[in-house]
Every structure is written in C-alpha cells, then in structure tokens.
C-alpha cells in the first residue's frame, strides 16, 4: 500500500490528492473518483463492480478523505 503521508508520494500524486480534496468540498461522493474503473458482471444483483484501485485512484480517495476529516473536525457537513 502506498503511503500518501510521505512527502515524496504526496509530491508525485499532488494533482490527484488535490482533485479528490476539492471534489469532497464540492459535495461529490467517493464514487465520482475519475480513476475508478468499473467492469460489468453477470450478477443481476451487482451489475458492475470496481477493479482494484491503482495509485492515482487511491491518491484521489486519500484527498477526498482528508477533506472529509477536515470538515468533520470543524463541525462541517456530515
């Protein structure tokens, strides 16, 4: 698992982290992550599922979760 708290990793994925942070502040859900890849399934109860997340998708998600944590810490939207 990639450590998005490490300076080198944060620098490498700053664009995705910032985009995820901004998306959360704008009210977007985790499922709006543009780096997620959905694949169709034959299961009618679960017509599609997401492929394992790559580092860009995980970085976006990390930024989203940081914004969520920051807003909750300030008494923002829940």
Dist CA 41 CA 52 (whole Å): 15
Residue 77 has pLDDT above 80, yes or no: no
Q: How much is the pTM?
A: 0.82
Q: Residue 71 has what pLDDT?
A: 87
* Rounded Cα distance, 60 and 58, in Å: 5
What pLDDT is recorded for position 78?
42
Q: What is the pLDDT of residues 17-74, one digit of tens each?
A: 999 999 999 999 999 999 999 899 998 898 888 899 999 999 999 999 999 999 888 6
Per this entry, what is the length of the chain? 78
Please tell me the distance from the alpha carbon of residue 32 to that of residue 43, in angstroms, as a whole number.
22
| Domain extent listing, the chain | 7-73
């Amino acid at each position: 698992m990639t450590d998005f708290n490490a300076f080198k990793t944060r620098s490498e994925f700053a664009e995705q982290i910032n985009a995820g942070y901004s998306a959360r502040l704008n009210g977007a859900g985790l499922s709006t992550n543009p780096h997620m890849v959905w694949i169709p399934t034959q299961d009618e109860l679960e017509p599609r599922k997401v492929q394992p997340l790559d580092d860009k998708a995980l970085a976006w998600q990390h930024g989203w979760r940081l914004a969520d944590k920051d807003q909750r810490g300030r008494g923002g939207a829940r």
